[in-house]
Structures are given as C-alpha cells and as structure tokens.
Amino acid sequence: MVSRELRFLILVSVWLTFLISFCYAPILGVVMPIVNEALNFTPQMGTTYLSAFYMGYAIMVLPGGILADRIGYRYTIFGWFTRHGGHYCIDEYH
C-alpha cells in the first residue's frame, strides 16, 4: 500500500506539471518577442514556431484522452514521464 505522503507528493507533482503546461500555452504569444530575440528568429520563424506548438497541442489532446481512457490515466502519465525522461537523457548525454 502506498503511504499517504507519497500519494500527496504524486498528486502535487502531477498538478504542478499540468499547471505549468496549462499556463505555458496562453502566455506563449505574449513572450514571443523575447523568444524571437533570444533565438534570433525572424517574425515569420516565430510565427511558425508558435503555430507548430499549437498544432501539436491540438493534435495530441484527443489521442492523449483516448489513451488515458483505454489504459488509464496513471499509465498514461507514467508513460509520458518515462518518454520525456528518456529523451532528456538521450539528448543530454548523446
């Protein structure tokens, strides 16, 4: 059985992850001038970057929901963290 403290830690971690991703989408348009300057993007490149983010977000919402319904939200979240953690390790140490 999982302790109450561990359950609370998992809940807070998932909630913070959702909160960050939920807050990131609306403010991306506001911070695009800063991102464009930092990455040396032209306005067209910044618009393409922003469009790609929103397209990816829109495309993945439905499959993510279907996957969570089929295999459960816990496995979906675990798979997401595992995949992104693996990508981080590969990119960082490759």
Contact 43, 36 (CB under 8 A): yes
Contact 46, 32 (CB under 8 A): yes
Over residues 32-54, the pLDDT tens digits come to: 899 899 999 998 999 898 888 88
Residue 85 has what pLDDT? 81
Residue 94 has what pLDDT? 59
Over residues 63-77, the pLDDT tens digits come to: 888 988 999 888 888
Backbone angles phi, psi at 42, to 5 degrees: -80, 165
Q: Using CA of residue 72, residue 12, residue 22, residue 86, what is the dihedral sign?
A: negative
Residue 45 has what pLDDT? 93
Over residues 1-44, the pLDDT tens digits come to: 678 888 889 889 888 887 887 777 778 878 889 989 999 999 89
How far is it, in rounded angstroms, from Cα 15 to Cα 39? Answer: 30
Backbone angles phi, psi at 72, to 5 degrees: 100, 150
